[in-house]
Chain A
Amino acid sequence: MAEIRVMRDDLLPPASTERRHLLSISDLSRDDIERLLATARSFARSLEREMKKLPTLRGRTVVNMFYESSTRTSASFELAAKRLSADTMSIKASGSSVDKGESLKDTALTLGAYDPDVIVIRHPQIGAAQFVARVTKAHVVNAGDGKHQHPTQALLDLYTLHEEFGRLEGLHVAIVGDVLHSRVARSLIQALALVEARVTLVAPPPLLPRGIEAMGCETSTEIESIKAADVVYVLRMQQERMQAGANYVPSLREYTARWGVTPERIRPGQRIMHPGPMNRGVEIDPRVADAADALIETQVRAGLVTRMAVLYDLLTTGPVGVKVQTLHEVA
């Protein structure tokens, strides 16, 4: 269904009656996910054509607010908006009024005054995307808020898995590494639970958040347990969080020796994923990263069509998450 609508060059998005956002995977239903993935697949086909630009979001404005460094997320959101003919503006924290101490509220209100249709925000603090959704009238897409959520990453990962396996239900994914500090892991665990895949988290005990099993996953501290999975999803070891004295692990060297994903620790045919950027030789052995079974580049390509689907979906079709509570002091 989505394919027909997207391919029509004269398609104009219907006026939205309810303001919708993509803030957290927990706001989505399985139907939402399947619709988004189907839309992304139809965009993938459209991108095979010589003329890659679609007029779908002509006249719409997408603002990217990036308060943290990012390569693939910011690039793919920008390109996704351009492929759909939207106008884009990108604001980075450095070089903007944020440097002068402007609050997130004032920056959001300032950008909101240009009436953007969508604000894409990445921010180092949990709840930043929810906050922007409360203070502006735009549709808000969370492109990563602290250690909380990175929903479009999870969607592109599901897209990648579906392309590779032709199904999602029943897949077994082992997520390895620094789960404690990972927004990618949180979104992915929820997304995989929604499509009834099985998740095993593998990490040193201090990097497994207490109580995380309630999200519907298993946990293990033994690297050998990744062998049972169809897919090994390797998380970035965030070096800035691993300074001496933090004591999550005694050293990166010991982490790599005990939990690094090496050719010896995986079995033939297992697929390898990584959200990037990689620390080759730390959490992932270069031979694993470069092997034919690695889906890491596929993930990057999936990022573009998935983010096109998210922008399209927010401005046109059924409800994406709307669980934004009113902040009473915000008039």
Chain B
Amino acid sequence: MLFSKQAPRENLIVRGARVLDPAAGVDDVIDVRVDDGMIAELGSRLDPNAHRVVEGEGLVLAPAFVDPHVHLRSPGREDEETIASGTAAAAAGGYAAILAMPNTDPVVDSGSVLGSLVDEARARAEIPVGFLAAITKGQGGEELTEMVELAEAGAAGFTDDGRPIVAPGLMRRALQYGAVTGRTLAVHCEEPTLSRGGQMHEGAVSAELGFAGYPSVAESVMVERDLSLAAYERRPVHVMHVSARESVEKLRAARDAGVAASAEVTPHHLCLTDEAVRSLDSNLKMNPPLRSSDDRGALVEALRDGTIEAVATDHAPHARHEKEVPFEAAPFGVTGLETAFAALYTNLVEPGLLRLETLLERMSAGPAGIFGLPAPRISVGEHANVVLLDLGASRRVEEADFRSRSANSWLLGQKLKGKVRLTVAAGRVVFEG
């Protein structure tokens, strides 16, 4: 389900780092030896044995990150992102695997479109990438795609991301039929007659700025509907980019009742509120929108207690000229692959809102589990998927440093703590910074 270019695997020793793999219960200052891309030995003062040595003293070595929600804009908008540039950006962000959304042009709704993406990934992807296919043809919300064929062609899951599945009957059919593929169904929850025209969260800030509101209830009524359908069909469902407290509450109740629901949340929803929109900066416009501080608090709490098990960037590159317009005319979406860890470390871990161990788990094993991907592990016999983090280092987010083809980041100019020094994905060093 994951594809990347073939390249020689590394022989490597990371020496003296704090090795922190919360899922494996490891937290120790030790050396890690990688032979031919596989983790071969953990221990003190390992013999370099002609391996390349990476000094890790004072740094944290953790399982590399997994992003379940990325827009690679290919095919159709290669000016904004390509498989090569998007996976390079992911490598710089500490990721060892990402999943790309199918809302491209054309939509990934047939074996042939998916096949061409798989070929492209095998030729150019810097890190393993998987592709979600559309649930409905053309993401039109009317006819199911040939899900079995798509799964056989390598689809990692199914979604109509960017659009909701409006008709409840169709959503039910997708849950029923999707079962034969064994893949996860991921839903973008938005009731379109409630969100229509909405530019930002509906509340005191939208009232003052004059923007048409996109109320939190537009999300939560669809979350509730999809959880009800998933419960009725006894099928798992993954709720993407949760933004509202009410949605969190529905999720928590459904999981308590035994529904196999999973959920993800973005760094921007965890760090910002609708107050930020007062700047009218178009890099603060995304769907779902930034919500109130009460919603943000609920999201942080849900990430902490596991109601939401994954951080997803919803990395959404946009061409410069399309964002350099008044807020109201700008498209929805911001980038995030290259800044996710530092943004969350700076805004949640440093102030004591989230433990580092929890963040690492929610950026790696959590998202991997949702889509049945192998979770990166730091233990002997595993493929080397690791990230070396310098928690003490800070840097200013600059456009010139991005590997993404787009720079519509909400963090431009900000100083962030927590720097990725090295990323090893599938046994290959893919980033050094």
Considering only CB atoms and an 8 Å cut-off, how many residues of chain A contact the other chain?
A: 32
Q: Is A126 a contact of B206 with CB atoms below 8 Å?
A: no
Min CB distance A178 to B, Å, is 12
Q: Is B327 a contact of A127 with CB atoms below 8 Å?
A: yes
Known: A210-B202, A328-B413. A126 touches B207 (CB 8 A): no
Q: Is B328 an interface residue (CB 8 A)?
A: yes
Q: Is B280 a contact of A211 with CB atoms below 8 Å?
A: no
Known: A326-B413, A327-B281, A328-B399. A214 touches B207 (CB 8 A): yes
Closest to B203 in A: A211
Known: A326-B413, A330-B324. A183 touches B208 (CB 8 A): no
| Bound-state Cα–Cα, A211 to B208, Å | 8
Q: Is B324 a contact of A125 with CB atoms below 8 Å?
A: no
Q: Is A209 a contact of B207 with CB atoms below 8 Å?
A: yes
Which of A35-43, A84-92, A145-153, A226-234 sits within the interface? A145-153
Min CB distance B195 to A, Å, is 14
B-contact bits for A127-158, CB 8 A (1 contact / 0 none): 11011000100000000011111000000000
Residues of A within 8 A of B206 (CB): 209, 211
Q: Is B326 a contact of A186 with CB atoms below 8 Å?
A: no
Considering only CB atoms and an 8 Å cut-off, how many residues of chain B contact the other chain?
A: 31
Q: Is A103 a contact of B321 with CB atoms below 8 Å?
A: yes
Cβ-neighbour of A212 out of B207, B212, B279 (below 8 A): B207
CB-CB contacts below 8 Å: B279-307 with A: 279-282
Q: Is A127 a contact of B207 with CB atoms below 8 Å?
A: no
A-contact bits for B19-45, CB 8 A (1 contact / 0 none): 000000000000000000000000000
A-contact bits for B269-282, CB 8 A (1 contact / 0 none): 00000000001111
Known: A149-B210, A211-B202. A125 touches B328 (CB 8 A): yes
Cβ-neighbour of A329 out of B204, B207, B279, B399 (below 8 A): B399
Residues of B within 8 A of A149 (CB): 210
CB-CB contacts below 8 Å: A146-183 with B: 146-149, 183
Q: Is B326 a contact of A128 with CB atoms below 8 Å?
A: yes
Q: Is B202 a contact of A125 with CB atoms below 8 Å?
A: no
Q: Is A98 an interface residue (CB 8 A)?
A: no
| Bound-state Cα–Cα, A211 to B274, Å | 13
Q: Is B281 a contact of A183 with CB atoms below 8 Å?
A: no
Q: Is A79 an interface residue (CB 8 A)?
A: no
Q: Is B320 a contact of A145 with CB atoms below 8 Å?
A: no
Known: A214-B207, A214-B208. A329 touches B202 (CB 8 A): no
Q: Is B329 an interface residue (CB 8 A)?
A: yes
Cβ-neighbour of A214 out of B204, B282, B320, B321 (below 8 A): B204
Query: Residue among B204, B209, B326 with the most chain A CB within 10 A?
Result: B326
Cβ-neighbour of A146 out of B215, B324, B328 (below 8 A): B328
Closest to A212 in B: B207
Residues of A within 8 A of B399 (CB): 328-329
A-contact bits for B326-350, CB 8 A (1 contact / 0 none): 1111000000000000000000000
Q: Is B204 a contact of A126 with CB atoms below 8 Å?
A: no
Q: Is A93 an interface residue (CB 8 A)?
A: no
Min CB distance A242 to B, Å, is 15
Residues of B within 8 A of A209 (CB): 206-207, 213
Residues of A within 8 A of B53 (CB): none
Residues of A within 8 A of B323 (CB): 329
Closest to B329 in A: A125
Min CB distance A250 to B, Å, is 17
Residues of A within 8 A of B279 (CB): 325
Residues of A within 8 A of B203 (CB): 210-211
CB-CB contacts below 8 Å: A78-134 with B: 103-105, 123, 125-128, 130-131
Q: Is A215 an interface residue (CB 8 A)?
A: yes
Q: Is B412 a contact of A328 with CB atoms below 8 Å?
A: yes
CB-CB contacts below 8 Å: A48-74 with B: none
| Bound-state Cα–Cα, A210 to B209, Å | 12
Residues of A within 8 A of B208 (CB): 26, 186, 212, 214-215
Q: Is B328 a contact of A210 with CB atoms below 8 Å?
A: no
A-contact bits for B379-407, CB 8 A (1 contact / 0 none): 00000000000000000000100000001
CB-CB contacts below 8 Å: A3-42 with B: 26
Known: A105-B325, A127-B327, A326-B413. A147 touches B210 (CB 8 A): yes
Closest to A147 in B: B210
Q: Is B204 a contact of A127 with CB atoms below 8 Å?
A: no
Q: Is B209 a contact of A148 with CB atoms below 8 Å?
A: yes
Min CB distance B410 to A, Å, is 11
Closest to A187 in B: B210
Closest to A190 in B: B208
| Bound-state Cα–Cα, A159 to B45, Å | 80
Closest to A214 in B: B204
Closest to B327 in A: A127
Residues of A within 8 A of B320 (CB): 329
Residues of B within 8 A of A327 (CB): 281, 324
Q: Is A126 a contact of B280 with CB atoms below 8 Å?
A: yes
Q: Is B204 a contact of A212 with CB atoms below 8 Å?
A: yes
Cβ-neighbour of B324 out of A211, A326, A329 (below 8 A): A329
Residues of B within 8 A of A123 (CB): 326
Residues of A within 8 A of B413 (CB): 326, 328
Q: Is B199 an interface residue (CB 8 A)?
A: yes
Residues of A within 8 A of B282 (CB): 127
Q: Is A131 a contact of B325 with CB atoms below 8 Å?
A: yes
Min CB distance A217 to B, Å, is 10
| Bound-state Cα–Cα, A72 to B412, Å | 40
Known: A103-B325, A104-B325. A186 touches B281 (CB 8 A): no
B-contact bits for A174-203, CB 8 A (1 contact / 0 none): 000000000100100000000000000000
| Bound-state Cα–Cα, A147 to B205, Å | 13
Q: Is A105 a contact of B324 with CB atoms below 8 Å?
A: yes
| Bound-state Cα–Cα, A24 to B281, Å | 15
Q: Is B324 a contact of A127 with CB atoms below 8 Å?
A: no
Q: Is A126 a contact of B210 with CB atoms below 8 Å?
A: yes
Q: Is B211 a contact of A126 with CB atoms below 8 Å?
A: yes
The 7 closest A-B CB pairs, nearest first, are A147-B210, A211-B204, A214-B204, A209-B207, A127-B327, A127-B280, A125-B328
Ordered by A's residue number, 15 sampled pairs between the chains whose C-beta atoms are within 8 Å are A104-B325, A105-B321, A105-B324, A126-B211, A126-B327, A131-B326, A131-B327, A149-B210, A186-B208, A211-B202, A211-B205, A214-B208, A215-B204, A215-B207, A325-B281
Using a CB–CB cutoff of 8 Å, the interface residues on chain A facing chain B are: 26, 103-105, 123, 125-128, 130-131, 135, 145-149, 183, 186, 209-215, 325-330
Extra contacts besides A104-B326, A329-B412 (17): CB < 8 Å: A103-B321, A104-B325, A125-B325, A126-B326, A135-B324, A146-B328, A147-B210, A148-B211, A186-B209, A210-B215, A211-B204, A211-B207, A213-B204, A214-B204, A215-B207, A329-B323, A329-B399
